[in-house]
Chain A
Amino acid sequence: MNVFESIASGMRSIWSHKLRSALTLFGIVVGVAAVVAMFSFVGGISKRIMEDFEQLGFDNVFFVSDRQPDNPRGLASLKVSKGLTLQDTEVLREEIPEIEWLCPTVATRIVGRAGNQARHFPVFGATPDGFPILKLELGAGRLINWLDVENHARVAVLGEIAKEDLFGDRNAVGEQMLIGKESFTIVGILRMKEFSRMFGGTGQEENHERVYIPITSGIHYFKGSKSIDYFAVRIRDGSDIGAVYERIHQTLLREHRGIEDFYIENIAEQIAEAKSGVERITQTWHTILSSIATVSLLVGGIGLLSVLIISVNERLREIGIRKAVGAEDRAIFQQFIIESVTISLFGGLVGLGVGAGLCKLITFGAAQMGQDFVIPVSGAGSVLGVSFAVAVGVIFGLYPAYKASRLDPIDAISRYA
């Protein structure tokens, strides 16, 4: 008897005992469905969190900011170092090739006015690099360019919230606004990103309450000194965060003649840590889920075992007849193992279907409630679930198959009668 005939025989025996097979399969179906659904769920959530991190835009970012030196020489040292300057940014750019974007920034809070609307706005003098660093997207018009920076141009880009405060739904590109007493032309409007609610408030609101102008204009119109408030640095993907941090620190320290009147906020590191935290949690969940799956499949396996034992006892005569016409022990063993695996594999595939259906259902349900929450069916979960089911079939088939194979033909035939 070859494998296909054994499988066919397995199918026949499932089919001829539909209710019993269904009860046996139930445990395996539930086990596999749970594995697939839970793996997909955890995978979907962690993928979502990772995407949010990306959207957040702070991976690979450092903020270098101004601060008072906390050494005993106190203010005296300020005369030795000029604080953060545009000079610093050029040196960093030159010496550290891992830096992809670098944006010096001056920030003030000042009244902005357009038509009869007026409000205090955070006004940020920045360079074109500032937008990709913060992953800000353009909604209309254009961004600040290097020519604007060079010319101290009186142009402004508004965050989406700032624009709505001043103009409501009206078009703002090309309009004039007053910043303090200076008149600026609005050249572009930013657009807020679609964000998941996973993080609640995401920090992007802050970016969109601002008015962005060229750094040079910021220094020229709204700042007494040449010093800048901070700069944001984004390093290239895959750079060694710790090493680059160290080099930025050393370079600035040298430029500032050994005075630590700056502070580097290592956001890149924090984000990286948070990401690996999420990965660890995902791993932990996978371990927990695998153990739950193991338990539920073992329970399913015990059901399978008892059904197989009943089946062997019911089929003593069949086994005896097969042996009487020349079936060897191992042919009978093979027949029952294949039957067992056929049942469990069938259960596994049904479970996979149910699990995948659950994922679709959650996705659909979320969509109904206006949430874009897609749970992709986990490949790892599917493979794990189905192979577990097969393993259950093999393991719990062993004993009944062995028992069947060792039956004495005459004994088996006559015990039935």
Chain B
Amino acid sequence: MLIETRDLTKSYDLGAVQVDALRGVTFGIDEGEYVAIMGPSGSGKSTLMHILGCLDTPTSGRYSLDGSEVSGLKPRELARIRNKKIGFVFQNFNLLPRIDLVSNVALPLVYHGSISRSERFDRSKKLLDSLGLGHRLGHRPNELSGGERQRAAIARALVNEPAILLADEPTGNLDQRTGREIMTILGDLHSGGRTIVIVTHDAGIAEQARRTVHIEDGRVARETVV
């Protein structure tokens, strides 16, 4: 199994009250799977994705990624995992506004350690080309449409050849047509062998995935497999 979690919990201590965002999530994802995560607002989907993406740490429970235990790792080791094994796509793109597209896509390679400038550029350019943004390399993110930005964000998530692509509502900020475009890209990537986990509110989009995990109130409520 690529991902295996066991009784993951996450609580936020807000002084007077304690918010339990996750109350024991146990599930697994195999290599090459395409999984959709659905659930009502506030049910803990993003929290779960952040933990899966090593952007956040669980309050308790176990999480193993690609055969090695992640919970309990130091920040530095988590950074390395984020850098080498995970591609994360955000709802609001999260590109750096002051640098051009190709530099944005190359950003993970900058922190990789040993990749030359020219190789970084070549790899980023190739990805942008394949996503139809070859003519936008030198543009700043704010010069692009939402769909183009999200495509660039996907390129950035893929540039390090991650083991898994995590996307938290990647079409949430896009109109329907552009959203479908992004879903086509993700579908193609899955066909190419990528492991993909996507959070969505859109049942139509979820249908593209073979398997849907329903989260309610911080727990896995049920799973549906097409």
Residues on A lying within 8 angstroms of B by beta carbon are 1, 5, 12, 16, 317-318, 320-329, 331, 408-410, 413, 417
Chain B residues contacting A5 (CB-CB under 8 Å) are 110
Is B82 part of the binding interface, using a Cβ–Cβ cutoff of 8 Å?
yes
Chain A residues contacting B76 (CB-CB under 8 Å) are 328-329
B96 close to A321 (CB less than 8 A) = yes
Tell me, in angstroms, the Cα distance from A324 to B94 when the chains sit together.
10
B98 close to A326 (CB less than 8 A) = no
A331 close to B55 (CB less than 8 A) = no
A317, A321, A408 — most chain B CB neighbours (10 Å): A321
B82 close to A324 (CB less than 8 A) = yes
Task: State how many angstroms separate the Cβ of B105 from the closest Cβ of chain A.
Answer: 10
In the complex, the chain A residue whose C-beta lies closest to that of B81 is A326
A318 close to B82 (CB less than 8 A) = no
Number of B interface residues at 8 Å Cβ cutoff, please give it. Answer: 25
The 8 closest A-B pairs by CB, nearest first: A326-B83, A325-B108, A326-B111, A328-B79, A327-B111, A326-B82, A410-B55, A1-B110
Tell me, in angstroms, the Cα distance from A297 to B89 when the chains sit together.
45
A417 close to B92 (CB less than 8 A) = yes
Chain B residues contacting A329 (CB-CB under 8 Å) are 75-76, 79
Is B119 part of the binding interface, using a Cβ–Cβ cutoff of 8 Å?
no
A325 close to B83 (CB less than 8 A) = yes
In the complex, the chain A residue whose C-beta lies closest to that of B97 is A318
Task: State how many angstroms separate the Cβ of A334 from the closest Cβ of chain B.
Answer: 11
> B43-67: which residues lie under 8 A (CB-CB) from chain A?
50, 53, 55-56
Q: A321-B95, A410-B56 are in contact. List 20 more A-B contacts (CB 8 A).
A: A317-B94, A321-B94, A321-B96, A322-B96, A324-B53, A324-B88, A325-B88, A325-B108, A325-B111, A326-B80, A326-B83, A326-B84, A326-B108, A326-B111, A328-B75, A328-B80, A329-B79, A408-B56, A410-B50, A417-B92
A322, A328, A331 — most chain B CB neighbours (10 Å): A328
Chain A residues contacting B88 (CB-CB under 8 Å) are 324-325
A322 close to B50 (CB less than 8 A) = no
Chain A facing B: main interface SS: helix
Q: Which of B55, B92, B98, B110 contacts A16 (CB 8 A)?
A: B98
Is B156 part of the binding interface, using a Cβ–Cβ cutoff of 8 Å?
yes
Chain A residues contacting B107 (CB-CB under 8 Å) are 321-322, 325
Chain B residues contacting A410 (CB-CB under 8 Å) are 50, 55-56
Is B112 part of the binding interface, using a Cβ–Cβ cutoff of 8 Å?
yes
Q: Provide a sorted-by-A list of 29 A–B residue pairs whose CB atoms are within 8 angstroms.
A: A1-B110, A12-B98, A318-B98, A320-B94, A321-B94, A321-B95, A321-B96, A322-B96, A324-B53, A324-B88, A324-B94, A325-B82, A325-B83, A325-B88, A325-B107, A325-B156, A326-B84, A326-B108, A326-B111, A326-B160, A327-B111, A328-B76, A329-B76, A329-B79, A331-B111, A409-B55, A410-B50, A410-B56, A413-B94
Chain B residues contacting A321 (CB-CB under 8 Å) are 94-96, 107
Q: How many residue pairs at the A-B interface have CB separations less than 8 Å?
A: 61
Chain A residues contacting B50 (CB-CB under 8 Å) are 410
Chain A residues contacting B112 (CB-CB under 8 Å) are 326
Residues on B lying within 8 angstroms of A by beta carbon are 50, 53, 55-56, 75-76, 79-80, 82-84, 88, 90, 92, 94-96, 98, 107-108, 110-112, 156, 160
B92 close to A326 (CB less than 8 A) = no
Task: State how many angstroms separate the Cβ of A17 from the closest Cβ of chain B.
Answer: 11
B90, B95, B107 — most chain A CB neighbours (10 Å): B107
Chain B residues contacting A12 (CB-CB under 8 Å) are 98
In the complex, the chain A residue whose C-beta lies closest to that of B92 is A417
Chain B residues contacting A317 (CB-CB under 8 Å) are 94
Tell me, in angstroms, the Cα distance from A327 to B90 when the chains sit together.
17
Chain B residues contacting A325 (CB-CB under 8 Å) are 82-83, 88, 107-108, 111, 156
B88, B94, B156 — most chain A CB neighbours (10 Å): B94
In the complex, the chain A residue whose C-beta lies closest to that of B103 is A5
A327 close to B96 (CB less than 8 A) = no
A324, A327, A328, A408 — most chain B CB neighbours (10 Å): A324
In the complex, the chain A residue whose C-beta lies closest to that of B85 is A326
Chain B residues contacting A408 (CB-CB under 8 Å) are 56
Chain A residues contacting B160 (CB-CB under 8 Å) are 326
In the complex, the chain A residue whose C-beta lies closest to that of B106 is A325
Task: State how many angstroms separate the Cβ of B151 from the closest Cβ of chain A.
Answer: 17
Tell me, in angstroms, the Cα distance from A142 to B36 when the chains sit together.
109
A1 close to B111 (CB less than 8 A) = yes
In the complex, the chain A residue whose C-beta lies closest to that of B93 is A321
In the complex, the chain B residue whose C-beta lies closest to that of A325 is B108
Tell me, in angstroms, the Cα distance from A336 to B111 when the chains sit together.
15
Task: State how many angstroms separate the Cβ of A145 from the closest Cβ of chain B.
Answer: 78
